[in-house]
């Protein structure tokens, strides 16, 4: 592990661990999944926990033992040649259907017959089976009478075939399509404010109970503010509402709360639990995902803007496909990639790790949107719900090529459009300006200048060769860089030999210079193409031929000596080694020469002189460079060749003359005077570059172009297809991130692949005979980046008419209800399947789901409906008589008080202390002393925030529909002893008047609870302040009164009233 | 018990209260009263008969009856972290000497070019660098690095044929702790506390100690003592090796004991006034009581950790003040004090992270194992002696086990090491319910793979639960629509090592 991990360790301790310290009086109020468990649930035939093992044992026993007994003694008459007594044991299904075999051997007629306990004794008219054989059959029946395959070839075991999803299955309450629901009539209609109330009251009246009346106004506004914002209502807000006599005062409060930006923060956090959202990979390395927070920002914005829930679903599954230009839709795809992933993998684990990742996506998608444990069907058909394993793999196949990517996104397109436009306008101005200069001024000046041009002016020590052709034995290709140099592009061969044909115009050449130059495209900037930027030139050969002579043979030019600006060593990697007889040893430039331009000069034994050939306009060169070093890819990245007309020129880079092509053009332009010739244009363009005015205009344009429009982009972690993968630790070993096909796996085992799975839908939520093409979104083009499988799934998911939309609506309505009342209409928010709870008010649930869909899937309307109902406005008053009938308040005859969640506890302390920083959005932090809302804690899986964990924060590994609510002593220790708790109390106390105890206590209550203390409370608190002041005074620790007030504030924030919604 | 259960499950909170005659105000105390034995009936339930925790809502850590009489009441697990080499510890392989220097492909032609983790590091078969000698009446061959533990071999049952799922530290650690090589499942200690509850009023039921020498946490860190999907109360309590062992246990410096007591008295009065309006809310009362418990814990937890109060001969027995093993000796002594005070499950990790920081001897297996054996030999032997002297060993199960074994071939390097081996590891157990001086199972002759009576992690877990009186097939928890077990769908109790 890295050193930085060590520093993490000191915070790793989780407060929740501590919870075990409370052994005597902890009170655990179970809200989590096990609540629905069992004793009373009449779920389908229970599957024992060791089911899989028993099947395996039974099958082994059959294969090794029982099969032979049955075939030898029974089969002929019972399923083989004939079927006597209507008893066919040729297949598992026929056997079980015969009625001869019970659940256990003791109930089995078959066992009685073969044991000769019952008549007719079997096998008929034959010896009794050996005792061991009977015992084997008994054991086999006790293990479920498993078959590995039918006893008769060709018989098909129908029950072994894929699970059939029938219309009967689709009749289960949650799988049905929503139907119109009539609002019931009730006796006490005067109590009802909304249709919700009639549904609830109807059930109560049937049970013979009546609801509570309305709670007092202070209680209501505090309740609603905690519910909607996760913060306490301020005293001023309470006062205003209390005084407001307007008949719509309450509706106004609800509307105000739903408009608050803090609503999004509160409800985004609820969804983060469902989405198992965290900002690190988890597992042993637990690397951060620093750009994952955009998903949280998306959630907050989505809730605040009341994004229709169907769109909310679609964007999380396929925002990159359905709204690729909307940054929020891109951010939403963070949902798919939010799960944990082990980044340290060995090759053997790659494929199973990818299937685990797909499983995380499928499981979370199934639970979050459909409330179905689709993930249970990974290893076999779902045990309770009609979800065949095949359906699981069809959903998994939807995500086959979906991976995490980090991309630059334009989060503020309007501002960027402005930037782009401003830039383009300026660009156009600069271009026009330059063009005008080139069209009006340059031709005049050039025509005036050209007559005075003298060819020899531009001849320097080195004349750059005009390269005519480069051929490479291994296919390297080169691009001219406009300065006489050539850059290698494309793939780098391991070895290569270059043959360069080039021309010079001078008549005398005494040496050849090879410059090897750097370039940004080269490894380490070059000059070589090896990963470390090096090259190795084993050999250089030079041939010369007078130009213009076709008959003269090329003469080999002997190289006498070589010097270089830098060489790797003085031995086999020296420049001298390039002109020895070893084609491998030769010039290389590592050991200080990488990333810098280098040059080598090869002095000729005898000057190349074409003065004797007057017709020849210079020399044609053929230069061969052998790049044959055994270290791969030690090729040259960029080179320039020139010849020197003087002897003993030092090895240096640059100081070349004009590009030979330009010189030729100048010469020709001067010679012909043809202003429309290519040469003239070329020469004129070159001339322009020497003019200061042109340079100024050109530089202004280049700078503007280089600066670009400076669009503000943000790096965002998204989930998509065909984008660069988000790199991680396993890349080093070659982890492929995804495999092109998803297979149906037997028992979820990657070594037992069956057919390739194609993307599809859950059959149980797809009515029989539906044309699935309804939802299909075709790829817009064959080569479109993504497959549009997810867009297709999203279509089905949100289709309330034919697809899964009815269930999706029920599930979200239930989640919203649950967060308002502490318990959903379905008590198992993540399980709407057969083993989940049944709704307490099915008609109400469906009515609300219908209402949601009919009104554009808008959640704020749903909140408002709920919060303006009489059910919501009830007091918390308890009643023995009604509790006898409905102790758990399933019928909602009262408001059930409940504890605030972790975030709301901390945020309330911060709010009351005056320390709350209300800055929204952006990256989170692990700093425990931060004062922003708790939703902005960075969620690092190995370093979960201790104070949050103490109050039942989820582990952020799987979708959590409802947190448990534990009451444990370590929470008390946090209030009593934590530095944060004390700091909040100190800030709280600083807001209080210090001179009058009574005024201080009153103000403290006003801030903490938005109420006045009772007489009894005032008496207790006044006494306490006096007592503590005296105590601290005696200790001489500063002003005793200040410390006493801090104690007072700490105590108030520790009160039950502080952390319970009433 | 089972017959009783049905009845008890139907008890409602109000019935309970009327039975105890305390009224609503005392509701939060019900768990406490039960703990003190003052609550005659009605609350004692068993998680194992029914995984509906609602029946234990008042106190999820209330002691539970086991499925059948237990031989062991508590567990101390010395987690030999990093993967100790079995052939260099408890699985003496004399044949390996004959094979020394030969290629493992002569033994197993299937062997690939990688040790599993490292490529290009495949050395030849390598005999143990340690001398082995018979110890105890059973004559167990023990390497020279365990002089003190060698004294106790007649108390130990050795499992020599363990095998596991992953050759990667964190998945293997998760597998050893939770049965599955993935994050997010409850570990053995959590299952045990869920199944049996805690016997301590003021201390955690499950305590974990990690390396105090700055070598880090075992890979995967806190997920190794996570309660997974079980309620958080069953999670391991990690005693921080430096600084305050437990967060927020110490009062703020500015608050005196008297001042805090005054605060708590005031809080109680205010909460009681509030509670008069909400008498039906049981958790409000529980919360009132939780502050009292927290107050008590401030003194009880430090007391349990106070090893300085132990007499010198006991400190010496563990090796405290012996530089080499002082740190581990202290942890072993804390472990004894913890279980003595009712803590159900203690896990002590020997070593921290990978390579030279734990038993992960990739380089220099000899030096690595001499060092870590040296750090633990005397303390663990002292622990066994001390428990035995106090009569506690007969119902305390002590386990020595890591996450996997190591290959019998050398991992090449300056000093030869050994790479991970999931195919074979060894472990020993001693104390409650264990038959001493026996070997169980065997590897092949070179210690490459488990061969006879192979023991999977599920079997190990099944056996641990069995010793604690629990049937691993009946200890279940329903979560997301499925009943989960520590042993998933497998596991067999190793009957041959039971006394």
**Best mutation target, B229, B255, B290, to test chain A (most A CBs within 10 A):** B290
**Contacts with B, A 886-945, CB within 8 Å:** 887, 897, 899, 941-942
The 3-state DSSP class for residue B426 equals strand
A21 chain-B contacts, CB cut-off 8 A = 202-204, 237, 246, 297, 301
Looking at the complex, does the CB of residue A456 fall below 8 Å from at least one CB of chain B? no
> Mean pLDDT per 10-residue run, chain A (1062 residues)?
35 30 30 33 46 76 88 86 81 77 81 86 86 89 82 59 83 95 96 97 96 96 98 97 96 98 98 97 87 98 98 98 95 97 85 94 97 89 89 96 95 90 95 93 89 66 86 87 86 89 84 92 90 91 80 78 89 88 88 90 87 73 89 91 83 70 81 86 83 85 89 94 90 90 89 89 90 90 92 97 96 98 94 91 98 98 98 94 90 94 97 97 96 97 88 88 81 94 96 93 97 96 94 80 94 96 90
A876 chain-B contacts, CB cut-off 8 A = 278
Q: How far apart are CA A65 and CA A147, in angstroms?
A: 11
Closest residue in chain A to residue B240, using alpha carbons only: A13
| Nearest CA-CA partner of A372 in A35, A828, A772 | A828
Assess whether the previous peptide bond of A1019 is cis (omega < 30° from 0). no
Looking at the complex, does the CB of residue A106 fall below 8 Å from at least one CB of chain B? no
Contact A20 B262 (CB under 8 A): no
Per-residue confidence band for B53, with pLDDT thresholds at 50, 70 and 90: low
Contact A1055 B274 (CB under 8 A): yes
Contact B235 A964 (CB under 8 A): no
B240 chain-A contacts, CB cut-off 8 A = 10, 13
pLDDT for res A468: 87
**How many angstroms separate the CA of residue B283 from the nearest CA in chain A?**
6
Contact A284 B170 (CB under 8 A): yes
pLDDT for res A658: 63
Assess whether the previous peptide bond of A527 is cis (omega < 30° from 0). yes
Provide CB contacts within 8 A for A414, sequence distance 6+: none
Looking at the complex, does the CB of residue A508 fall below 8 Å from at least one CB of chain B? no
Q: How far apart are CA A825 and CA A840, in angstroms?
A: 5
B254 chain-A contacts, CB cut-off 8 A = 982, 1037, 1043
Task: Say which residue the tokens 């791969």 belong to.
Answer: A632
The closest CB to that of A21, out of B193, B204, B214, belongs to B204
CA-to-CA dists, residue B439 to B407, B443, B453, angstroms: 20, 11, 11
Q: How far apart are CA B16 and CA B20, in angstroms?
A: 6
Q: How many CA atoms lie within 13 A of B48 on its CB side?
A: 25
B9 chain-A contacts, CB cut-off 8 A = 39
Contact B278 A1027 (CB under 8 A): no
**How many angstroms separate the CA of residue B260 from the nearest CA in chain A?**
8
Q: Is the pLDDT of residue B3 over 50?
A: no
Q: How far apart are CA B78 and CA B209, in angstroms?
A: 10
Closest residue in chain B to residue A1047, using alpha carbons only: B263
Contact A12 B222 (CB under 8 A): yes
**Best mutation target, A24, A347, A828, A887, to test chain B (most B CBs within 10 A):** A24
| Nearest CA-CA partner of B206 in B328, B324, B332, B77 | B77
Closest residue in chain A to residue B227, using alpha carbons only: A17
Average pLDDT, chain B: 85
The closest CB to that of A876, out of B168, B262, B278, belongs to B278
Backbone phi and psi for residue A833, each to the nearest 5 degrees, phi listed first: -90, -170
Backbone phi and psi for residue B436, each to the nearest 5 degrees, phi listed first: -85, 160
Helix A261-274 vs helix A902-913: crossing angle, to nearest 10 = 150
A50 chain-B contacts, CB cut-off 8 A = 473, 485, 489
Q: Per-residue pLDDT averaged across B72-90, rounded?
A: 97
Contact B231 A51 (CB under 8 A): no
Contact A1020 B266 (CB under 8 A): yes
Q: Per-residue pLDDT averaged across B76-103, rounded?
A: 97
**How many angstroms separate the CA of residue A34 from the nearest CA in chain B?**
5
Looking at the complex, does the CB of residue A973 fall below 8 Å from at least one CB of chain B? yes
**How many angstroms separate the CA of residue B296 from the nearest CA in chain A?**
10
Digit-coded pLDDT (tens) for B325-358: 999 999 999 999 999 999 999 999 999 988 889 9
pLDDT above 90 coverage of chain B, percent:
64
Backbone phi and psi for residue A509, each to the nearest 5 degrees, phi listed first: -135, 125
The closest CB to that of A14, out of B222, B273, B473, belongs to B222
**Best mutation target, A5, A8, A23, to test chain B (most B CBs within 10 A):** A23
B36 chain-A contacts, CB cut-off 8 A = 24
**Contacts with B, A 271-300, CB within 8 Å:** 282-284
**How many angstroms separate the CA of residue A419 from the nearest CA in chain B?**
47
B184 chain-A contacts, CB cut-off 8 A = 340, 955, 957-958
ipTM value of the model? Answer: 0.71
pLDDT for res A84: 81
What number of helices (H) and strands (E) belong to chain B?
13, 19
**Best mutation target, A27, A363, A1004, to test chain B (most B CBs within 10 A):** A27
Q: How far apart are CA A1030 and CA A1039, in angstroms?
A: 10
B298 chain-A contacts, CB cut-off 8 A = 973, 977
The DSSP element (H or E) to which B205 belongs, if any, is none
Contact B233 A20 (CB under 8 A): yes
Higher pLDDT, A828 or B12: A828
Q: How far apart are CA A109 and CA A85, in angstroms?
A: 13
Contact A26 B290 (CB under 8 A): yes
Residue A321 sits at the vertex; the CA angle it makes with A317 and A325, to the nearest 5 degrees, is 115
Closest residue in chain A to residue B301, using alpha carbons only: A21
Between chain A and chain B, how many beta carbons pairs sit less than 8 Å apart?
347
Contact B266 A49 (CB under 8 A): no
Contact B61 A1057 (CB under 8 A): no
pLDDT for res B41: 33
pLDDT for res B233: 75
The distance from CA A434 to its chain's CA centroid, rounded to whole angstroms, is 48
The 3-state DSSP class for residue A884 equals helix
pTM: 0.68
**How many angstroms separate the CA of residue B367 from the nearest CA in chain A?**
21
Q: Per-residue pLDDT averaged across B440-446, rounded?
A: 97
- Evaluate whether B289 touches A25 at the Cβ level (below 8 Å): yes
A905 chain-B contacts, CB cut-off 8 A = none
**Contacts with B, A 821-850, CB within 8 Å:** 830-831, 833, 835-836
Closest residue in chain B to residue A1044, using alpha carbons only: B259
**How many angstroms separate the CA of residue B314 from the nearest CA in chain A?**
27
Q: How far apart are CA A317 and CA A302, in angstroms?
A: 15
**How many angstroms separate the CA of residue B147 from the nearest CA in chain A?**
32
Q: How many CB atoms lie within 10 A of CB B466?
A: 24
Contact B51 A34 (CB under 8 A): yes
Closest residue in chain A to residue B241, using alpha carbons only: A10
Q: How many CB atoms lie within 10 A of CB A661?
A: 17
Per-residue confidence band for B47, with pLDDT thresholds at 50, 70 and 90: very low
The CA dihedral of A314, A318, A323, A328, to the nearest 10 degrees, is: 80
Structural tokens at position A783: 């080569």
Backbone phi and psi for residue B303, each to the nearest 5 degrees, phi listed first: -60, -45
């Amino acid at each position: 592990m890295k050193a930085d991990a060590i520093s993490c360790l000191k915070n790793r301790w989780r407060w929740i661990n501590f919870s075990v310290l409370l052994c005597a009086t902890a009170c655990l109020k179970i809200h989590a999944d096990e609540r629905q468990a069992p004793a009373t649930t009449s779920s389908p035939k229970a599957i024992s926990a060791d089911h899989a093992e028993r099947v395996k044992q039974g099958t082994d026993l059959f294969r090794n033992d029982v099969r032979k007994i049955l075939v030898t003694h029974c089969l002929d008459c019972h399923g083989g040649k004939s079927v006597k007594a209507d008893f066919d044991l040729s297949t598992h299904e026929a056997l079980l259907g015969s009625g001869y075999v019970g659940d256990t051997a003791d109930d089995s007629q078959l066992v009685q017959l073969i044991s000769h306990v019952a008549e007719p004794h079997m096998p008929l008219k034959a010896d009794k089976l050996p005792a061991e054989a009977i015992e084997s059959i008994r054991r086999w029946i006790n293990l479920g009478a498993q078959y590995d395959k039918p006893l008769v070839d060709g018989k098909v075991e129908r029950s072994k075939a894929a699970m059939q999803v029938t219309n009967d299955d689709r009749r289960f309450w949650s799988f049905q399509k929503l139907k119109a629901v009539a609002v019931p009539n009730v006796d006490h209609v005067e109590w009802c404010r909304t249709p919700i109330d009639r549904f609830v009251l109807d059930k109560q009246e049937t049970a013979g109970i009546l609801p509570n009346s309305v709670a007092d106004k202070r209680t209501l506004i505090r309740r609603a503010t905690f519910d909607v914002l996760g913060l306490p209502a301020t005293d001023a807000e309470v006062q205003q509402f209390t005084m407001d006599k307007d008949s719509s005062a309450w509706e106004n409060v609800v509307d105000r709360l739903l408009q608050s930006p803090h609503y999004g923060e509160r409800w985004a956090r609820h969804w983060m639990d469902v989405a198992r959202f965290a900002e690190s990979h988890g597992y042993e390395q637990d690397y951060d995902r620093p750009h994952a927070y955009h998903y949280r920002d998306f959630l907050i914005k989505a809730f605040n803007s009341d994004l229709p829930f169907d769109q909310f679903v679609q964007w999380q599954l396929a925002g990159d496909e359905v709204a690729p230009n909307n940054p929020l839709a891109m951010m939403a795809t963070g949902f798919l990639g939010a799960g944990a992933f082990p980044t340290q993998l060995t090759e053997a684990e790659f494929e199973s790790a990818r299937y685990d990742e797909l499983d995380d996506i499928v499981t979370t998608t199934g639970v979050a949107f459909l409330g179905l444990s689709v993930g249970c069907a990974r290893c076999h058909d779902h045990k309770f719900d009609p979800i065949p394993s095949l359906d699981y793999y069809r959903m998994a196949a939807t995500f086959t090529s979906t991976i995490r990517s980090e991309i630059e996104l334009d989060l503020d397109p309007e501002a960027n459009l402005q930037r782009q436009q401003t830039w383009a306008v300026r660009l156009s101005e600069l271009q026009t300006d330059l063009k005008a200069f080139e069209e009006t001024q340059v031709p005049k000046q050039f025509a005036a200048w050209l007559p005075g041009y003298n060819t020899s002016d531009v001849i320097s020590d080195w004349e750059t060769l005009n390269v005519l052709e480069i051929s490479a034995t291994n296919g390297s290709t080169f691009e001219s860089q406009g300065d006489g140099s050539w850059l290698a592009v494309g793939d780098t061969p391991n070895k290569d030999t270059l043959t360069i044909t080039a021309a010079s115009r001078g008549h005398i050449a005494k040496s050849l210079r090879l410059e090897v130059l750097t370039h940004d495209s080269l490894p380490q900037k070059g000059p070589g193409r090896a990963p470390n930027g090096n090259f190795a030139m084993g050999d250089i050969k030079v041939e010369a031929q007078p130009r213009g002579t076709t008959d003269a043979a090329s003469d080999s030019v002997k190289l006498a000596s070589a010097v270089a600006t830098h060489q790797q060593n003085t031995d086999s990697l020296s420049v001298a080694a390039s002109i020895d007889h070893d084609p491998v040893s030769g010039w290389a430039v590592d050991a200080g020469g990488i990333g810098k331009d280098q040059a080598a000069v090869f002095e000729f034994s005898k000057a190349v002189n074409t003065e004797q050939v007057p017709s020849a306009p210079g020399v044609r060169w053929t230069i061969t460079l052998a790049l044959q070093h055994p270290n791969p890819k030690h090729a040259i990245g960029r080179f320039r060749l020139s010849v020197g007309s003087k002897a003993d020129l030092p090895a240096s880079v640059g100081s070349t003359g004009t590009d030979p092509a330009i010189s030729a053009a100048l010469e020709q332009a001067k010679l012909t005077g043809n202003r429309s010739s290519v040469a003239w244009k070329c020469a004129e363009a070159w001339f322009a570059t020497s003019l200061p005015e042109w340079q100024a205009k050109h530089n202004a344009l280049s700078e503007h172009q280089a600066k670009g429009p400076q669009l503000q982009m943000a790096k965002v972690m998204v989930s998509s297809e065909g984008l660069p993968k988000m790199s991680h630790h396993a890349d080093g070993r070659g982890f492929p991130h995804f495999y092109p096909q998803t297979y149906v796996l037997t028992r979820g085992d990657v070594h037992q692949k069956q057919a390739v799975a194609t993307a599809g839908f859950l059959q149980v939520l797809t009515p029989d005979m539906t044309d699935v093409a309804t939802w299909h979104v075709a790829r817009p083009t064959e080569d479109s980046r993504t497959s549009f499988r997810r867009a297709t799934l999203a279509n089905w998911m949100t289709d309330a008419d034919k697809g899964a939309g009815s269930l999706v609506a029920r599930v979200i309505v239930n989640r919203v209800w649950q967060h308002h009342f502490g318990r959903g209409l379905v008590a198992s928010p993540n399980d709407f399947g057969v083993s989940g709870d049944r709704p307490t008010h099915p008609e109400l649930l469906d009515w609300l789901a219908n209402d949601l869909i009919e009104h554009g899937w808008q959640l704020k309307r749903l909140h408002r409906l709920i919060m303006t109902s009489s059910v919501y406005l009830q007091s918390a008053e308890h009643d023995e008589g009604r509790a006898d009938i409905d102790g758990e308040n399933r019928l909602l005859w009262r408001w059930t008080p409940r504890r605030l969640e972790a975030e709301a506890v901390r945020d309330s302390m911060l709010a009351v202390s005056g320390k709350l920083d209300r800055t929204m959005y952006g990256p989170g932090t692990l700093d425990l002393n931060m004062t922003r809302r708790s939703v902005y804690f960075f969620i690092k899986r190995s370093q979960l925030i201790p104070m949050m964990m103490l109050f039942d924060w989820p582990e952020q590994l799987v979708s959590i529909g409802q947190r448990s609510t534990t009451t444990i002593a370590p929470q008390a220790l946090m209030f009593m002893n934590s530095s944060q708790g004390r700091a909040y109390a100190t800030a709280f106390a600083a807001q209080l008047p210090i001179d009058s105890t009574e005024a201080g206590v009153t103000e403290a209550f006003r801030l903490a609870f938005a109420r006045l203390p009772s007489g009894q409370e005032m008496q207790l608190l006044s006494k306490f302040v006096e007592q503590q002041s005296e105590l601290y005074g005696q200790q001489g620790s500063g002003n005793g009164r200040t410390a006493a007030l801090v104690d007072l504030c700490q105590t108030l924030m520790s009160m039950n009233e502080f952390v319970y919604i009433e | 018990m089972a017959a009783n259960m049905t009845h008890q499950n139907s008890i409602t909170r109000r019935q309970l209260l009327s039975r105890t005659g305390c009224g609503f105000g005392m509701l939060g105390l019900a768990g406490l009263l039960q703990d003190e034995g003052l609550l005659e009936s009605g609350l004692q339930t068993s998680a194992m008969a029914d995984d509906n925790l609602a029946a234990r809502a008042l106190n999820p850590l209330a002691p539970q009856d086991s499925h059948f009489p237990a031989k062991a009441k508590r567990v101390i697990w010395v987690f030999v972290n990093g993967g100790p080499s079995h052939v260099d510890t408890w699985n003496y392989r004399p044949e390996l000497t004959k094979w020394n220097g030969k290629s493992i492909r002569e033994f197993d032609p299937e062997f690939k070019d990688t040790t599993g983790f490292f490529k290009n590091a495949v050395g030849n078969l390598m005999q143990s660098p340690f001398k082995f000698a018979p110890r105890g009446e059973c004559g167990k061959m023990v390497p020279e690095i365990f002089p003190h533990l060698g004294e106790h071999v007649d108390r130990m049952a050795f499992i020599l044929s363990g095998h596991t799922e992953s050759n990667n530290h964190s998945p293997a650690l998760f597998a050893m702790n939770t049965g599955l090589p993935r994050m997010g499942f409850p570990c053995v200690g959590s299952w045990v506390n869920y199944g049996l509850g805690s016997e301590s009023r003021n201390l955690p039921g499950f305590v974990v100690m990690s390396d105090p020498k700055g070598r880090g946490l075992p890979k995967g860190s806190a997920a190794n003592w996570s309660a997974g999907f079980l309620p958080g109360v069953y999670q391991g309590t990690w005693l921080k090796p430096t600084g305050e062992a437990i967060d927020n246990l110490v009062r703020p410096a500015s608050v005196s004991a008297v001042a805090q007591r005054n605060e708590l008295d005031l809080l109680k009065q205010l909460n009681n006034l509030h509670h008069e309006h909400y008498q039906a809310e049981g958790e409000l009362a529980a919360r009132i009581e939780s502050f009292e418990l927290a107050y008590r814990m401030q003194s009880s937890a430090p007391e349990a950790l106070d090893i300085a109060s132990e007499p010198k001969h006991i400190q010496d027995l563990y090796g405290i003040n012996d530089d080499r093993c002082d740190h581990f000796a202290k942890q072993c002594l804390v472990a004894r004090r913890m279980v003595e005070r009712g803590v159900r499950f203690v896990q002590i990790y020997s070593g921290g992270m990978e390579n030279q920081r734990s038993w992960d001897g990739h380089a220099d297996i000899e030096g690595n194992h001499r060092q870590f054996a040296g750090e633990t030999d005397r303390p663990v032997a002292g622990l066994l002696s001390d428990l035995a002297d106090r009569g506690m060993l007969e119902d305390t199960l002590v386990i020595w086990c890591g996450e996997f074994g190591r290959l019998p071939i050398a991992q090449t390097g300056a000093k030869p090491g050994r790479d991970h081996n999931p195919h074979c590891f060894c472990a020993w157990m001693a104390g409650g319910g264990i038959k001493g001086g026996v070997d169980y199972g065997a590897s092949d002759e070179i210690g490459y793979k488990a061969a006879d009576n192979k023991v999977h992690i599920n079997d190990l877990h099944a056996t641990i639960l069995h010793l604690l009186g629990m049937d691993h097939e009946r200890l279940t928890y329903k979560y997301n629509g499925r009943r989960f077990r520590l042993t998933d769908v497998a596991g067999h109790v190793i009957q041959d090592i039971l006394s």
